[in-house]
């Protein structure tokens, strides 16, 4: 059983002020983010759905996947979505020595030219973040969609986002094979409902 919180508690955000958790805007906006791609079928399908709603998103890509699927990565750029670094091998920072972690981020940088970074699993040590924060904006989130949870169906996934979204919310999805069915079914529902509520869908840099 996986334990996680759909919304990030304010106390955590208060004590981790070096990280970006949300981006409130003058007009109601949310920031859709997708971790772990690019992946065949899944990432192109996400692009189709986003384009049908004229929505922009930020994709935190794994360097190894960019190397394997440069054509899909190129499609992300052509569609004017934003790109972020998610390490080269999807490393857990809590289980990786600082220099090895930094080297892995640097390796990913060869494939992902971006000043945005998201640590896989949200797990990064104070020393790792201190070393990265001069070169990167470290982007976390205030809403987890729960698409990675096998006990969450598309309706629940959609409601996790719709019920908790506020102006400036940074929302996490995953464009990988393991979570594709739930995420791809929930995403159009989320886009439709939040659009009707008057939200715009922006990239992280637009919010910054």
Of 29, 39, 82, 19, nearest to 184 (Cα)?
39
Contact 200, 112 (CB under 8 A): no
Place of tokens 């008057």: 198
Provide the 3-class DSSP secondary structure of residue 184.
helix
- Write the Ramachandran bin of 168: left for phi over 0, alpha for psi from -120 to 50, otherwise beta: left
DSSP 35-56: ES---TTHHHHHHHHHHHTT--
Measured from the Cβ of residue 13, the count of other Cβ atoms closer than 10 Å reads 15
Report angle CA 116, 38, 170 to the nearest 5 degrees.
Answer: 45
Residues classed as catalytic = 35, 174
């Amino acid at each position: 059983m996986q334990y996680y919180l759909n919304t990030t508690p304010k106390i955590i955000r208060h004590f981790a002020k070096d990280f970006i958790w949300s981006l409130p805007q003058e007009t109601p906006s949310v920031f859709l983010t997708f971790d772990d791609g690019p992946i065949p079928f899944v990432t192109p399908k996400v692009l189709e759905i986003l384009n049908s709603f004229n929505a922009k998103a930020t994709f935190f890509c794994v360097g190894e996947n960019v190397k394997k699927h440069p054509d899909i990565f190129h499609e992300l750029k052509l569609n004017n979505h934003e790109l972020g670094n998610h390490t080269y091998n999807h490393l857990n920072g809590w289980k990786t020595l600082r220099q090895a972690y930094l080297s892995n981020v640097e390796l990913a940088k060869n494939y992902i030219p971006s000043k945005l970074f998201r640590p896989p699993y949200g797990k990064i040590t104070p020393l790792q973040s201190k070393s990265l924060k001069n070169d990167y904006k470290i982007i976390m989130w205030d809403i987890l969609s729960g698409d990675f949870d096998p006990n969450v169906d598309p309706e629940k996934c959609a409601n996790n986002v719709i019920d908790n979204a506020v102006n400036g919310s940074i929302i996490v999805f995953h464009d990988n094979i393991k979570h594709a069915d739930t995420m791809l079914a929930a995403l159009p529902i989320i886009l439709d409902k939040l659009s009707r509520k008057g939200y715009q869908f922006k990239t992280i840099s637009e919010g910054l």
